[in-house]
Structure 1
Amino acid sequence: MPNTFSMEISAIYMALCGMLLVALALRVVRGRWQYRVGIGDGENKALSRLIRVHGNATEYLPMALLLLLAVENALGAAWPVHALGSLLVVSRLLHAFGLGKSAGSSMPRFLGTAGSWAMILVSAGIVLANSF
């Protein structure tokens, strides 16, 4: 384990995911204006889906990014952090696209979920393996 704390690489993915969260939040705001709903979803299925796309990202991204930061500090090597960070960003984009188009199952939604889970599990494994 390196002796110094680093977040130079994971900060890139934190920034990208932060931008994704704002983009998803703007879609919710646009939907609220369009459907004239100030709070909740007004029983509007399209707005409800926009809210869930944003909500799902806010549920997964914090833990995934914390694990990415822990991986960067556990390994001290750039390529695994870039690989895991890229997997996370691509997976979250796929999930947002898939769920944004349909509340049902879709290949982008499935791949986004699978990729996010894989990134979290691999990162957790790396952190645990390097903690002993």
Structure 2
Amino acid sequence: MIWTIYAALLSLFFAFLTFRTIRLRQRYRVSLGHGKNLLLMRAIRVHGNFAEYVPLGLLLMAASEQLGAPSLLVHSLGSLLALGRLVHAYGVSQENEVLRFRVTGMALTCICYVLAAGYILISAFSGNA
């Protein structure tokens, strides 16, 4: 099951984002919220955004693989999702944000979603689901 490899890798990155947020909270002595600290605010949103987008991507990957998607497609979905989340996290984490990283990250994530959803729908309507 290929999707589980990406789930594990993305989980490690999620743990990194979690620890980074905790470290910033400790450094700036903010236990709840962001304390109007821009870096902490960005770290919280990167962490939250990751938590919001990765589960659906993994679910779509798992469903695609379960329906018999070729290995290359499943790896492509995982690569798009992982790269998209990494690029997005980098872009949003910067104090002087470069919008193209944020946009590219979201685009890669959405491409993963659309390709997986397309495969799932085609499989469903062709009787393979």
Give the TM-score, by structure 1 length. 0.90
**Structure 2 match to 1:29:** 22
CA distance in 2 between counterparts of 1:92 and 1:103 reads 19
Residue 40, structure 1, aligned to residue 27, structure 2: no
More RCO (CA 8 Å, sep 6+): 1
**Structure 2 match to 1:62:** 55
**Structure 2 match to 1:51:** 44
- The aligned amino acid for 1:124 is A
**Count of matched residue positions in the alignment of Structure 1 and Structure 2:** 125
Give per-residue Cα distances to partners, 1:21-59, cap 9 Å, x unaligned. 111111100110111001111121111110000000000
How far the C-alpha of 1:103 sits from its partner, in A, is 6.6
CA distance in 2 between counterparts of 1:10 and 1:107 reads 28
Where does structure 1 differ by over 6 angstroms across 4 or more consecutive aligned residues? none
Residue 92, structure 1, aligned to residue 85, structure 2: yes
Q: Percent identity?
A: 40
Unaligned ranges ≥5, structure 2: none
Give the TM-score, by structure 2 length. 0.92
How far the C-alpha of 1:75 sits from its partner, in A, is 2.4
Unaligned ranges ≥5, structure 1: 1-7
Q: Residues 102 and 71 (structure 1 numbering): CA distance in 2 closer, same or farther, change over 3 Å? A: farther
**Structure 1 match to 2:103:** 110
**Structure 2 match to 1:3:** none
CA contact (8 A) 1:49 1:103 kept: no
CA contact (8 A) 2:57 2:113 kept: yes
CA distance in 2 between counterparts of 1:101 and 1:122 reads 29
